[in-house]
Amino acid sequence: QDFVEVDNAWLLADMLADIHVGYLNIAEAMIEVQAKPLKTSQLLTEVDLDGTMNPVMRTISLDHALSNDSRFDRVTSNGESLWFLRRLEPEPV
């Protein structure tokens, strides 16, 4: 696949960092330990992506990977986009 859609924009797939399952497991553990939704920037403090890559592209890369993993759910709080674990979300009433 040459192109990927990220937040209603199309990017060359080669522009994104390679996010392997280990990085996603780290993000999952961080959210689980904090027991609250976290910003992508918070997750990136422990996910060691290529430091030479543009910081915006690191954020876009991790957001794209999280959005394609069923464990994670993008939630909004005070107009801010955060990541949480679906299994920790409260049951609907």
The share of the chain scoring above pLDDT 90, in percent, equals 70
The whole-chain average pLDDT of the chain stands at: 93
Q: Which pLDDT does position 25 carry in this prediction?
A: 98
93 confidence band (pLDDT: 50, 70, 90): confident
Domains and CATH numbers, the chain: 3-88 (1.10.10)
Q: What is the model's pTM?
A: 0.90
pLDDT single digits (tens) 5-29: 887 889 999 999 999 999 999 999 9
Q: What is the DSSP string of 9-65?
A: EEEEGGGS----HHHHHHHHHHHHHHTS-B-HHHHHTTS---TTS-HHHHHHHHHHH
